[in-house]
């Protein structure tokens, strides 16, 4: 494998820091040398993941358009991560073996100490066996504790606690609805409740509505208050909001949200929950068809959930969902099965145009692979629920 194929993998700062020092690029290989030099400059300066577009712009502006063909090769590289990881591990293990051999020779000829050799070997322990994996426990008591008895993030809506149950690390799902149905209000209502339960922050990646308006909706939902009532007593409401949520709701407002930014912030803040509104607009994914590109986004979101915390996405219903009470997976926009296949749970929010139903929303649990909690009801696993939306206070409430 040519070293050029490794550059795309090394644009992720964690991979760069782990493997870059083992890759020796000779100055005689002029073009590849400058490609790696540009990579070094960017990562060392910004200390974050670098997008392929950022990298290409830097190389072209620094070294000229002659590098465009090589950049095209890097951008279109389709070598799977597991193969790249095998190559990098092989390179790093050979380098460590060489360094151990040099130190051992120094010890045998009296130029080095045994303690330094032993210390170095200790530092490299585990590199050769880098593919060693921990098996999933078969202890039934531990499985019960981890999967069901230990609560995760509980919903404000009791209907969702009875049907879906808690959200836990590894869980990825999404809500979908037609425009102007109340998706942001739903999120504000639930996230303001989740934030009272978390230790780490809730990272809300917003590329839809204006971020300050979204934060105001969250404060309204937490206080169960109108905007007018909030502003009549700003100091007290501010203090109560911070006391309730521990200021855990962190909204990132970016209309050009890239996956590298998301990964960087997740590594930095180790969130307790991640929200994507709207998930389909995240940049950094390619595909021959739009549904396949979207499928890549949802696979990536699932991996985030497994690595960090529960992930909730928001997307649209297509035109077939207009005026429909009970949305199904067939109503998800821009997807055949790619999006739906990756989710553990899917909730459609329906809205009827019938008179008298202006403030009623219809939740349909169209997919549910979650384990639930001890108080979840199996008969509600794929339930349908009428709930009340209160736009003035940014709340959804159960109808009992």
The alpha carbon of residue 208 and the mean position of all alpha carbons in its chain are separated, in whole angstroms, by: 17
pLDDT at 183: 96
Q: Are 252 and 132 in contact (CB under 8 A)?
A: no
Give the closest residue to 364 by CA, choosing from 156, 159, 170.
159
> 314, 208, 312, 202: which is closest to 266 by C-alpha?
202
CB neighbour class for 95 (10 Å; exposed up to 12, middle 13-18, buried from 19)? middle
Scan for tokens 């050009």, then name that residue: 256
Exposure string of 159-179, with b = 16+ CB inside 10 Å and e = fewer, is bbbbbbbbbbbbbbbbbbbbe
Residues in the chain: 400
In angstroms, the CA 385 to CA 365 distance is 9
Distance CA(73)–CA(249), nearest Å, equals 40
Q: What's the CA gap between 307 and 327, in Å, rounded?
A: 30
Please give the chain's pLDDT, 400 residues, in tens. 467 778 888 888 888 887 787 787 888 888 888 998 999 999 888 888 888 889 999 999 999 988 998 998 888 876 665 666 677 677 667 766 767 777 777 778 777 777 766 666 665 554 444 444 566 677 777 666 666 656 799 999 999 999 999 999 999 999 999 999 999 999 999 999 999 999 899 999 998 888 999 999 999 999 999 999 999 999 999 999 999 999 999 999 988 889 888 998 998 899 999 999 999 999 988 766 787 889 899 999 999 999 999 999 999 999 999 999 999 999 999 877 889 999 999 999 999 999 999 999 999 999 999 989 989 999 999 999 999 999 999 999 999 7
Q: For residue 79, what pLDDT is reported? A: 60
Distance CA 267, CA 14 (A): 9
The pair of three-digit structure tokens given for residue 386, joined into one six-digit string: 């009428």
Please name every residue paired with 153 in a beta bridge, in sequence order, or none if there are none.
167
pLDDT value at residue 383: 95
Tokens at 212, concatenated: 């300050």
Token digits of residue 275: 């929200």
- In our burial notation (b when 16+ CB lie closer than 10 A, e otherwise), range 180-216 reads ebbbbbbbbbbbbbbbebbeebbbbbbbbeebeebbb
pLDDT of residue 219: 97
Say if residues 329 and 346 touch (Cβ distance below 8 Å).
yes
> What is the token pair recorded at 261?
């930014």
Q: Which of 203, 205, 196, 194 is nearest to 166 (CA)?
A: 194
Q: Give the C-alpha separation, 378 to 271, whole Å.
A: 30
Three-class DSSP category at 361: strand
Closest listed residue to residue 182, CA positions, set 362, 8, 21, 370: 362
- Residue 59 half-sphere exposure toward CB, CA atoms < 13 A: 28
């Amino acid at each position: 494998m040519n070293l050029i194929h490794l550059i795309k993998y090394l644009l992720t700062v964690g991979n760069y820091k782990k493997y870059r020092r083992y890759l020796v690029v000779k100055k005689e290989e002029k073009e590849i040398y400058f490609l790696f030099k540009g990579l070094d400059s960017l990562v060392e300066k910004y200390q974050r993941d670098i997008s392929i577009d950022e990298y290409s712009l830097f190389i072209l502006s620094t070294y000229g358009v002659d590098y465009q063909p090589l950049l095209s090769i890097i951008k279109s590289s389709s070598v799977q991560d597991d193969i790249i990881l095998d190559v990098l591990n092989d390179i790093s293990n050979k380098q460590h073996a060489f360094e151990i051999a040099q130190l051992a020779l120094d010890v045998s000829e009296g130029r080095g100490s045994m303690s330094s050799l032993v210390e170095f070997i200790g530092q490299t322990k585990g590199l050769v066996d880098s593919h060693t994996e921990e098996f999933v426990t078969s202890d039934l008591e531990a499985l019960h504790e981890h999967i069901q008895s230990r609560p995760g993030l509980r919903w404000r809506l009791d209907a969702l606690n009875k049907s879906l149950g808690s959200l836990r690390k590894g869980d990825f799902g999404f809500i979908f609805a037609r425009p102007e149905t109340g998706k942001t209000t739903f999120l504000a209502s639930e996230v303001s409740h989740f934030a009272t339960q978390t230790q780490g922050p809730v990272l809300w990646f917003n590329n839809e509505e204006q971020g300050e308006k979204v934060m105001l909706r969250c404060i309204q939902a937490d206080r169960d208050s109108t905007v007018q009532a909030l502003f009549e007593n700003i100091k007290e409401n501010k203090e109560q909001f911070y006391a309730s949520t521990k200021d855990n709701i962190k909204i990132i407002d970016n209309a050009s949200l890239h996956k590298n930014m998301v990964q960087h912030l997740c590594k930095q803040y180790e969130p307790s929950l991640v929200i994507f509104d709207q998930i389909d607009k995240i940049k950094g994914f390619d595909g021959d068809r739009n549904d396949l590109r979207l499928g890549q986004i949802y696979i990536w979101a699932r991996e985030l959930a497994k690595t960090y915390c529960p992930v909730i996405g928001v997307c649209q219903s297509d035109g077939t969902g207009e005026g429909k009470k009970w949305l199904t997976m067939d109503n998800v926009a821009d997807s055949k099965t790619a999006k739906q296949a990756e989710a553990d749970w899917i909730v459609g929010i329906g809205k009827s145009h019938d008179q008298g139903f202006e403030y009623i929303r219809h939740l349909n649990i169209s997919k549910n692979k979650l384990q639930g909690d001890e108080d979840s009801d199996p008969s509600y696993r794929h339930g349908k629920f009428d709930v009340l939306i209160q736009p003035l206070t940014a709340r959804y409430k159960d109808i009992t």
